Amino acid sequence: MKTHAIMKTRIYFTPIFLYLLSVIFVSCMQEKPSTSLKLWYEEPAQEWVEAMPIGNGRLGAMVFGRTSDELIQLNEESLWTGGPVELNPNPDAPKYLPPLRQALFDEDYAKANDLSKKMQGKYTQSYAPMGDIHIQQQYEGEVSEYYRDLDINSSIATTSFKANGVKYTREVFASAPDQVIVVRLKADKKGMLNFDSQFSSLLKHRLEDKDNNTIILNGRAPAHAEPNYLGNINEAIVYKDDEGMRFQMICKAKTSDGDLTTDQEGLHIRNATEVCLYISAASSFNGFDKCPFKEGKDEQQIASNFLDKAYAKTYQQILKTHQIDYKNLFDRVSFELQLDENAENINTTQRLEDYLRGGDDKYLEMLYFQYNRYLLISCSRSGGIAANLQGIWNKEMRPPWSANYTTNINAQMNYWPAEITNLSELHEPFLKQIQNMAINGKETAKNFYGMEGWCLHHNSDIWAQTNPVGNLGQGDPVWANWMMGAPWVSQHLFEHYAFTGDIEYLSKEAYPVMKGAAEFVLNWLVEDKDGYLITAPSTSPENTFIDPQGKNRSVSVAMTCDMVLIHDLFTNLIESSIALDTDKDFRALLQEKLTKLYPLQIGAKGNLLEWHKDFEDSYPHHRHISHLIGLHPGRQISPLKTPKLAEATRRSLELRGDEGTGWALAWKINTWARLLEGDHAYLLLRNLLRVTGNRSTEYNNSGGSYRNLFCAHPPFQIDGNFGGLAGMTEMLLQSQLPEIHLLPALPQAWANGEVRGLCARNGFEVDIKWKDQKLVKANILSKLGRTCILRTDLPINVKDAAFKTEKVESLVNNKNKTYFITSFDSEKGKHYQISMKQ
């Protein structure tokens, strides 16, 4: 393998002088070329979860790298089944709330479960596959020197092999500036490239050829698709003449020599040396509240406009603008660990298998960190659709869990790393999705509960579904009837402000939506016999307890996850109100209600209780740890501020165990890092990176990673990738408290290293270098000019700033720990160099 240094210049959307200062400091911190980061293999993909994902946020593809029968599977982010949601599918729902609450006060959990089913709406729709490109390449002789890779430094997938003395190469990338996917095929000997290319789709479609170099696929998505977990049922896929999203996919070929023809069978290339395929696509999606069939956009015009503009450019022109755009995002952060000299010379399959057997592989860990940033860049771009359960990659008509937005953890986890890994603008599609859900959620609050504000349950889709799913009583309340989605997704609205300091965004976008979520919560809360405010009904997502009669139950009151999410929402709103100097009466109301929330409880086992009472868990090793939200992603619990509660969360984690699905392992990495236990977090990272060939649905165990590093639930869920990345950053930097904690949970395995470009709340960007597990130096860029507070293990100096340091003793994880709290006033746009006191 050749080593390619990544671009050293990190580009920011800030004034030019900030950019120049950052370049100067990076050159000081940089001591060696950055590592070439590639997933590479010596065999083609046999399974979808071994193919290489590419994407530009809107268009996605899975590249298999086969020699004679290449498959490139395509997606478009807005291509979903269905249309705008039915806002009041269950008009009788509100009348069941009073008897449901009474059943809970009587502790009749069976009756409460039955009544909850009567308050359900309809299922969400599904993310749909767009189509496939099949390339039948003709060559003579046996294949040798096979190689394929995904270069995440430059965002391009390459396949190469030799046959009969000719080297054949394919390169595939998805350009965001030009909004096309480009496939370049070439032979190193003139006239030796011969192939046929066919196009297909699982959706209803028709093919046409045009201008002797173009194939057009016009299609339509179903009006409805039932969730895959319902199994094989009649009319699982429903088409209707006047419903369903339209789409178009176009492929246009360009070649400088050879013969190019088209017909209904596809494209035909003979005796060429190099061919470029330009692929464009679009759907008729026109917003979450508009019928894509009757009120849709002109997908044909959109697709052809993108294609015509791109086709006028050369391959090199499109590649150059693609890589400038991509590297502007990707190169903002680098992560380097001390590597062996030949670390890059092991193929990904081999290194995953060695890692599974206990081998040390810091290159794999670095690769995984940046691969997950690559995935977020590839599937979530500003102005687009939020990344779903599979990002933008899906090959199924009824994908696992409809590839929708599961808002009781998974949709949120997708965006945990966006701000801290310097990809803030990629957060925007999810923030927009939240605003759409708030609009529909207002109707759900009124129609299902007769209440003000807005609410969200555990599933949503591109149509911003917010009702409790379950198909009018068929769903299990353990997952269907969870009402706290709005407080949890609202956390993302506040976090975007916390990192960026964008006061206009807070005022005009975030605060009104957060307030609407709080208005529903204020309506929803009721007083218990002791005067505490509780939620009733309440579930802990997808988990059950054992009631006094020995029965598994799910519906009760005041689940811990509810109470910590409400605490988080109220706290964030209070801080926002202060920042905006507005809504003082509402702020006072929230402050009053905050003091009356049902308090967190510690059980007989020393654990933080998940339930209202100290019930036994039906599944002690359950994948969800929703009761620990106050530790992560919240900030109510911390070993530095609330040691007793932190110790209770530790005990809860111990009782849960270290196994779980892929995304569950990722969540646990974050929680152990928040407990400042880096070695335990690292152990779970190793579990997350264990290679698996399991493609069945396992709900509690067997999680890990597929050979292309997609997270295995199993099956594939991309939130595990993003949660894993977030957990790795939590080991290096934390800022959820009013301070920046440098290297808070650094594992022994990462004794020497460097990270650059991570972001901290209050508008700081941080570079850190360490050796022998101790901080060597750091750089802090102040983007907002706020006071900077640093927590370090050893005393530090701050160059060119008046600073003060306080030595503090803390009992952390039952051990005495000394920290140094250093603070100084910063200037906007200025770098501050941190060094250790001698």
pLDDT digits (tens, 9 = 90+) for 441-451: 999 999 999 99
The CA-atom distances, in angstroms, between 334 and each of 366, 519, 777 are 9, 42, 16
Do the bridges between strand 704-705 and strand 711-712 make them parallel or antiparallel, or are there none, so unpaired?
Answer: antiparallel
Contact between 790 and 803 under an 8 Å Cβ cutoff? The reply is: no
Task: Find all residues with CB under 8 Å of 115, minimum gap 6, and list them.
Answer: 96, 99, 100, 103
Read off the amino acid at residue 199: F
pLDDT 10s digits, 351-384: 999 999 999 999 999 999 999 999 999 999 999 9
The DSSP annotation for 94-157 comes to: GGGHHHHHHHHHTT-HHHHHHHHHTT-------B---EEEEEEEE--S-EEEEEEEEETTTTEE
The neighbour count for residue 141, using CB atoms within 10 Å, is 10
Q: Which range among 34-43, 327-336, 804-813 has the greatest average pLDDT? A: 327-336
The answer, yes or no, to whether residue 163 has pLDDT greater than 70, is: yes
In the predicted structure, residue 695 carries a pLDDT above the cut 90: no
Q: Which residues contact 316 (CB under 8 A, 6 or more apart)?
A: none
Q: What is the pLDDT of residues 754-782, one digit of tens each?
A: 999 999 999 999 999 999 999 999 999 99
| pLDDT surpasses 70 at 15 | no
Task: State both tokens at 539.
Answer: 């579930």
pTM of the model: 0.95
* Matching residue, tokens 């929230």: 590
Contacts of residue 429, defined as CB under 8 A and 6 or more positions apart, other chains included, come to: 380, 381, 382, 383, 384, 385, 386, 387
pLDDT class of 617 with cuts at 50, 70, 90: very high
Q: Which amino acid is at 61?
A: A
Give the pLDDT score at 272: 98
Do residues 508 and 453 lie in contact, with contact meaning Cβ atoms separated by under 8 Å?
no
- Lowest mean pLDDT segment, chosen from 26-35, 201-210, 286-295, 454-463: 26-35
Q: What is the pLDDT of residues 96-139, one digit of tens each?
A: 999 999 999 999 999 999 999 999 999 999 999 999 999 999 99
Residue range 242-263, pLDDT digits in tens: 999 999 999 999 998 999 999 9
User: Confidence class of residue 29 from pLDDT cuts 50, 70 and 90?
Assistant: very low
Given this model, what pLDDT does residue 813 score? 83
The pLDDT value recorded for residue 814 is 83
What is the average pLDDT score of the chain?
94
Pairing of β 246-255 and β 274-283: antiparallel
Q: What are the b/e assignments for 390-405, b being 16+ CB within 10 Å?
A: bbbbbbbbbbbbbbbb
Worst-scoring range by mean pLDDT, 339-343, 392-396, 399-403, 777-781? 339-343
Pair of tokens at residue 63? 């590249």
- In the numeric block, which tokens belong to residue 49? 């979860």
Residue 112 falls in which region: left (phi positive, over 0), alpha (psi -120 to 50) or beta: alpha
* Position 17 pLDDT exceeds 90: no
HEC secondary structure over 484-497: EHHHHHHHHHHHHH
Taking the C-alpha atoms of residue 593 and residue 721, their distance in angstroms, rounded to an integer, is 37
Under 8 Å CB-to-CB from 143, ≥6 apart: which residues? 67, 161, 162, 163
Q: How far apart are CA 162 and CA 472, in angstroms?
A: 58
Angstrom distance (rounded) from CA 426 to CA 694: 31
pLDDT tens string 519-560: 999 999 999 999 999 999 999 999 999 999 999 999 999 999
Contact 610/543 with Cβ under 8 angstroms?
A: yes
Q: What's the pLDDT score for residue 675?
A: 98
Q: Average the pLDDT over 782-811 and give the result.
A: 96
Tell me what pLDDT residue 204 has: 98
Answer whether residue 33 shows pLDDT above 80. no
Q: How confident is the model at residue 698 (pLDDT cuts 50, 70, 90)?
A: low
Give the three-class secondary structure for 448.
helix
Q: Are 201 and 232 in contact (CB under 8 A)?
A: no
Q: In the chain, what percentage of residues exceed pLDDT 90?
A: 92
pLDDT higher than 50, residue 1: no
Which pLDDT value is given to residue 205? 97
Question: Residue 702 pLDDT > 90, yes or no?
Answer: no
Lowest-confidence pick of 4-8, 192-196, 636-640, 788-792: 4-8
| Structure confidence by residue, pLDDT tens digits, 587-598 | 999 999 999 999
Q: At what angle do helices 678-688 and 719-732 cross, to 10 degrees?
A: 160
The residue type at 88: N
Q: Nearest Cα to 474, choosing from 238, 96, 223, 122?
A: 122
Cis peptide before 222 (omega within 30 of 0): no
Show Cβ contacts of residue 171 under 8 Å, excluding neighbours closer than 6 positions: 156, 157, 158, 182, 183, 184
Report which of 696, 697, 708 is spatially closest to residue 49, judged by C-alpha positions: 708
Neighbours of 718 (CB within 10 A): 27
Question: DSSP assignment, residue 452?
Answer: S
